[in-house]
Amino acid sequence: MLVAGFAICGFSAHAQGDAAKGEALFKSKCTTCHKIDQRLIGPALGPQLESETDDKWLTKWIQNNQALIAAHDKKALDIYNQYNQSAMTVFADLSDGDVSNIIAYVRTEYKKEKTATPAPGTVAQATESAPSNLVILGLIGVIVVAFIVILVLNKVIGTLERLLLKRQGLPLELEEVEVAAPVDRYALVKKLAKNKKFVFFVVLCGTIAMGSWTWVALWTTNVHQGYQPVQPIKFPHDLHAGAMQINCQYCHSGAYKSKNASIPSLNVCMNCHKVVKTESPEIHKIYDALGYDPTTQKYDSTKARPMQWIRVHNLPDFAYFNHSQHVKVAGLKCQTCHGPVETMKEVYQYSPLTMKWCIQCHKRTDVNMKGNAYYENMIQVHDLIKQGKKVTAAAMGGIECGKCHY
For residues 231 and 208, what is the distance between their CA atoms, to the nearest angstrom? 41
Are residues 33 and 41 in contact, defined by beta-carbon separation less than 8 angstroms?
yes
Q: What is the pLDDT of residues 307-337, one digit of tens each?
A: 999 999 998 888 899 999 899 888 889 999 9
Residues β-bridged to residue 324: none
- For residue 248, the model assigns a pLDDT of 92
| pLDDT of 125 strictly over 70 | no
What is the pLDDT at residue 87?
A: 67
Mean pLDDT of 375-393: 89
Statement: residue 295 has pLDDT above 90: no
Could you tell me which residue, 95 or 288, shows the higher pLDDT?
288
pLDDT interval class at 5 (50, 70, 90): very low
> What are the residues whose beta carbons fall under 8 Å from the beta carbon of 153, sequence distance 6 or more?
197
Which of residues 274 and 118 earns the better pLDDT score?
A: 274
Burial, 107: exposed, middle or buried (Cβ in 10 Å; 0-12, 13-18, 19+)? buried
1-20 mean pLDDT: 53
pLDDT tens by residue, 213-265: 888 888 888 888 999 999 999 999 999 999 999 999 999 999 988 999 989 99
- More confident of the two residues 137 and 401: 401
pLDDT of res. 33? 75
**50-82: per-residue pLDDT in tens?**
765 678 888 887 888 788 888 888 887 877 777
Treating both helix axes as pointing N-terminal to C-terminal, what angle do 187-194 and 196-219 enclose, rounded to 10 degrees? 90
Q: Which amino acid is at 80?
A: Y
Q: Which residue has the higher pLDDT, 179 or 269?
A: 269
Tell me if 247 sits within 8 A of 38, measured CB to CB: yes
Q: DSSP character for 259?
A: S
Picking from 101, 80, 113, the residue whose alpha carbon sits closest to that of residue 30 is 101
In this prediction the pTM is 0.50
pLDDT at position 18, please? 83
Mean pLDDT of the chain: 81
Indicate the angle between helix axes 281-290 and 266-273, nearest 10 degrees.
Answer: 130
Confidence class of residue 154 from pLDDT cuts 50, 70 and 90? confident
Three-class secondary structure assignment of 109-140: HHHHHHHHCCCCCCCCCCCCCCCCHHHHHHHH
**Residue 10 pLDDT:** 40
Share of the chain above pLDDT 70, in %: 84
CA 223 to chain centre: 16
Spatial distance between the Cα atoms of 389 and 381, rounded to a whole number of angstroms: 9
Pairing of strands 292-293, 53-54: unpaired
Kindly state the DSSP code that residue 13 receives in the 8-state scheme: E
**Gap between the Cα atoms of 14 and 107, Å rounded:** 9
The DSSP code for 275 is T
Q: CA 227: distance to chain centroid?
A: 15
HSE, CB side, 13 Å, CA atoms: give it for residue 218: 6
Q: How far is CA 224 from the centre of its chain?
A: 15
What residues form DSSP beta bridges with 293? Answer: 298
CA-CA distance, 183 to 397, in Å (whole number)? Answer: 86
